[in-house]
Structure 1
Amino acid sequence: VAVAKVKTSIYLLKPGIKHPEECVGPKKDVSRYETGDGGIVFYRQSVERTPQWLTSFFPGLAELDELKTTSASAIYVLPVDTEDGIRRFALSFGYGRTLLDDSCYVERFGLKTLLNIIEDGSIRKITRTTIAGNALKTAEQLPKRSPIGDFGIDIERDLLNGVTAALPEDSPLSGNASGSDALSVGVPSDLKLLPDLLKTIYGCYTSDGYKAKFPWVDNIAAVKSRATVEKLNELAVNKITEHSPDVWMAVPDIVEWEHIAGFKIPGLQELCQDIVIDDFLASLANPLEEFDQLKSKKIAAISSDNGEAIASWPASRCLYGEMESEGMKYCINGGRWYQVEKNFAERIETAYQNCEVLGLSFPECKEGMREGDYNAALAASDKERYALMDAKNIPYGGGQSRIELCDVLSEDGRFIHIKKYSGSAVLSHLFNQGYVSTMLVKSDAAFRDKASKLLSEANPSFASALGPESVKEVVFGIITKDNVDRPRLPFFSKVTLDAVRSNLLAMGAKVSVKAIHLSKG
């Protein structure tokens, strides 16, 4: 006789959780029920409520019992004898997830388990976060079972958050399942069958078989453990107070520098020309001791047009850095922590060190100069050699799409793109701009014609119109206060540059980076 199945979300509790009560924390409204098999059900009493839409639109029906709603919440915690000893699982029913403490369960347990079970061609849906940019979150679903390659995931720049897939016929589970932190799947409604099933699921979790099919999954993982985040936050505070180069601050979003007079940090009288740690430390009434001091202080970008704040961020959002803890490499990117797989981190760093540094001399950027001012100064430093193309946008593809060829173009085919040092979202945008511009010059005659007309207006001495082979080298210039030749970049900007550089080299264009020193006056 077939046993009925119930859909539930299965969490694996961390080994440090020795008592079931630890996973729900000190919630006063949670009751418990012992099932007699070593398991405990934690539940919150359901309360009838009148839906808000009912009182707003149909107040005359608000007292009807048949239109009341309830939300049942329960967590079933069960110890299971596994190959690694006793491990506890938490099965969530209804809104039971809200009872579970975030720090008590193993992150990505469900994702790893499901990837070990499924075949690549059985995926129905994925959720992902593009880390090497502005942390764009995307959910993608295809109408039929598909391999991971049919989705728009970039295996070097995307964090795989979750997968929904059809389970194979020989699997201990059946139907469709979803894996993220939890494994969401149908389980038998007979409690006696659960221990053996959970033991089998644990065996799937501990396997490394997924690495043969999805070897890139562990490259990047968001740190969700509250205890780990707190430890890393404390380490970041120590690095900041030690003035370590491992942690720094930057503008976290893409901004129009031409319209920014400076940045207002509460506690300082004068506007700052950039967001840097020394200014932040000087603004504090008391020495930096806790990460909450970064969260509580807002930094505002001030408009040069009217003196109003046009954007603001907690200081923690402006924090970037790379550090190691207990042998693992972590990055803080826009205030969020990520764990980076060691071999992946080493490969990205090696690739960046192999990127050529432009040997040409560029003028310094004087403090207070806007990007547009600097681009004009660079072009003016050799009028026969350079053409100023900054802000000369070219309409492309209909609608409002406008593409900038580059900031400065040299007569010998160097397409120079320049940006003030900022967070990874901004720099990743810069690198992608260089890629799109080069791709259009290489492939689109109409784009080349429009760009050639602008070029002849910018510098009539340039000999000929642009052709597919005009892009000899793409140069990314980073304006930075660091007195270095190779710019220091956030880790995820290096990831983006690695992908962009590979594509540009495949198109026959050299790629180089250049640190442009920001002088103090």
Structure 2
Amino acid sequence: MIDKDKETKQHLSIYLAKDPSSLDSTTLKIESAKPPIEFKLENIESAVLYIKKDPPKHSPSWTKLFTSRPELPEGAFGESSTVGAVLAIRHCGEKFILTFGSGFHLLQGEHIERDFGLRVTLNSVDPDKLRSLDKASYDHNPLNSRTQSTREVDIFDLHIDSETEMLYAVTGTSTVKCFGSQVTGRDALTLTVSTNLDGLAEILREALFRYRQKLPENFEWVDNVSRVRDSATCQILDLELDDVLDKQDFSRLWLGEPEVVDWENQVGYSFDMWPRTPRHVVLEISDLQDYLTTKALPFTVNSLHTVGVHINNSDYKEIKSWSAYRCLYAEVSVGGEEYILRNGLWYKIDKNFASKIDQSLSDLKSYEHPLPIYSFDTEGEYNENASKLDTSYHLMDKKNIHIGGIYDKIEFCDLVKDWKDFIHVKYYRSSSTLSHLFAQGCVSAEIFIRDQEFREKVNNKLPAGLKLADAQKMPDARLYQVIYAIATDKQIPQDLPFFAKVTLKNSIKSLRALGYSVKISKIDVDPAVRLKKKIKPKNKP
């Protein structure tokens, strides 16, 4: 009888090949491995072991899983603690690849099914007994991060926002007996179990069953927005984008910064850094098209990868640059599905999720006071002019409030009207700038209600007629409105980029919960603003 306490545990990392019929030479770098060794396992169609070449000394414990089998020649693993191997298995009509040690280096990543382990894990864990997760945001400030707990918690105790963050790895308590006590999933399904090679058939069969299952209700939101990892699908989407560019249909294309930038230190943009190259006050896709035409380059995805977008300072020196492809925001439809290109990455949007976001914005009302036309180079100039044209608008732009902590420097708003409307102004450049606008408006309004020090400092920047009678007293948010004023030719909020809509929806929800009224204002743009260019003078070096 086996002593369970002393029973050897095996660490398994299980991948699923995209193509069940693929050759091992396609899914693996077999040139880096020794000659294959075939195994005959119970209820398995075929199993082939590949061991990495040239292992040094001291074989690790996982090699014992194979050394008891007659198929394995003596000394096959050498004597190395860094030896690696993969076991390619055909089972249940699929191809599985199990990696051991450093064997993952033998994988051909583009032929592996992405998120296989994640989906199996989400269908195999107790949702209230999670230990860690890896996530990536897709809002105005993309971040990758990991959160973990020393005790078992539910997924939201691990601080994930189901509408603005993507889950790409999770660890939790297993509810599946053959998976052992804990399961981890990303691209690979990672288990620590008591088994031998003949026990793999049950584990793989169960993993495949759970991979094909619909995600449980607790995790359905994971499919709201998913990054397209399949290279073939990305190529198809790029070809679709090429067709859109060829037709010059820019209704669902925007050009903008792929990340938040410091507007105070820049004067414009250029598509190269030659002295006489036009500098543009704002990024427009039509300007990029004109540049490509002057350079006799086709308006294609390949050209977008090679052409740069450069931020210029007042001396017309480069501050920062990206490829034009990273600056392109595109929404395309393929096969009845909606996809978004953002920051050089393709994402697929769940239909129900998109409808839910649009529905949540359907009752957003327009601001009752029209703002003046946008005819300036910068938002600062626009805000100053608006306050001069109408004395009911008080200028708050650039009057930052310092209170310390995570919100060390906050701009209360750009304009205050009648000391009840807090107006935030933004010229529409990209999804990232709008998402930043919505988030900033929400944060400043929340702190105004909750933080006495912040209110007192805001009060100090107001003229006598607008000051709060008692800044120490918590104000009633129901007496105020937060206005998001966007300078654009598009219809808002209908034509806003999808990720900006998500941030707007969440900001409205938070502001209304505090008691604020939230409205949106469309600022018309002077056509001359789009035509303005700045040229570096000839006499400058």
Matches within 5 A, 1:111-190: 111-168=118-175, 171-187=177-193, 190=196
Structure 1 runs (4+) deviating above 6 angstroms are none
TM-score w.r.t. length of structure 2: 0.84
1:404 aligns with 2:411: yes
User: Paired residue for 2:87, among 71, 76, 93?
Assistant: 76
1:11 aligns with 2:18: no
2:183 partner amino acid:
A
Alpha-carbon RMSD across the aligned residues, in angstroms, is 2.5
Residues 20 and 94 in structure 2, CA contact (< 8 A), matched pair in contact too: no
Shift of the alpha carbon at 1:486?
4.3
Q: Secondary structure at the match of 2:179?
A: coil
Of all paired residues, the percent bearing the same amino acid is 28
1:214 aligns with 2:219: yes
For residues 427-455 of structure 1, give each alpha carbon's deviation from its aligned partner in whole angstroms, at most 9, with x where no partner exists. Answer: 22211111111112212222212111211
Q: Which residue of 2 aligns with 1:57?
A: none
Matches within 5 A, 1:43-442: 43-46=51-54, 71-81=82-92, 86-168=93-175, 171-187=177-193, 190-208=196-214, 210-244=215-249, 245-266=251-272, 269-284=277-292, 285-288=295-298, 290-304=300-314, 306-367=315-376, 369-383=377-391, 385-397=392-404, 401-411=408-418, 413-442=420-449
Residue 282 to residue 188, structure 1, CA distance change in 2 (3 Å): farther
Shift of the alpha carbon at 1:275?
1.8
2:515 partner amino acid:
G
Shift of the alpha carbon at 1:161?
1.0
Shift of the alpha carbon at 1:257?
2.1
2:18 partner amino acid:
K
Residues 258 and 371 in structure 1, CA contact (< 8 A), matched pair in contact too: no
Shift of the alpha carbon at 1:234?
1.7
1:150 partner amino acid:
D
2-structure distance, mates of 1:238, 1:428: 28
Shift of the alpha carbon at 1:92?
1.5
Residue 202 to residue 441, structure 1, CA distance change in 2 (3 Å): same
Residue 242 to residue 32, structure 1, CA distance change in 2 (3 Å): farther
Shift of the alpha carbon at 1:134?
1.7
Of residues 411-420 and 27-36 in structure 1, the stretch that sits farther from structure 2 once superposed is: 27-36
2-structure distance, mates of 1:412, 1:398: 27
Shift of the alpha carbon at 1:91?
0.9
Shift of the alpha carbon at 1:30?
4.3
1-structure distance, mates of 2:512, 2:286: 39
TM-score w.r.t. length of structure 1: 0.87
1:237 partner amino acid:
D
Residues 117 and 171 in structure 1, CA contact (< 8 A), matched pair in contact too: no
1:21 aligns with 2:25: yes
1:224 partner amino acid:
R
2-structure distance, mates of 1:361, 1:485: 14
2-structure distance, mates of 1:388, 1:232: 45
Q: Secondary structure at the match of 1:354?
A: coil
2-structure distance, mates of 1:147, 1:128: 15
1:293 partner amino acid:
S
Residues 245 and 299 in structure 2, CA contact (< 8 A), matched pair in contact too: no
Q: Which residue of 2 aligns with 1:60?
A: none
Give 5+ residue unaligned stretches, structure 2.
41-45, 58-78, 529-541
Shift of the alpha carbon at 1:497?
1.0
Q: Which residue of 2 aligns with 1:478?
A: 486
Q: Secondary structure at the match of 1:365?
A: coil
Shift of the alpha carbon at 1:223?
1.1
* Paired positions, count: 489
Residue 19 to residue 395, structure 1, CA distance change in 2 (3 Å): same
Give 5+ residue unaligned stretches, structure 1.
50-67
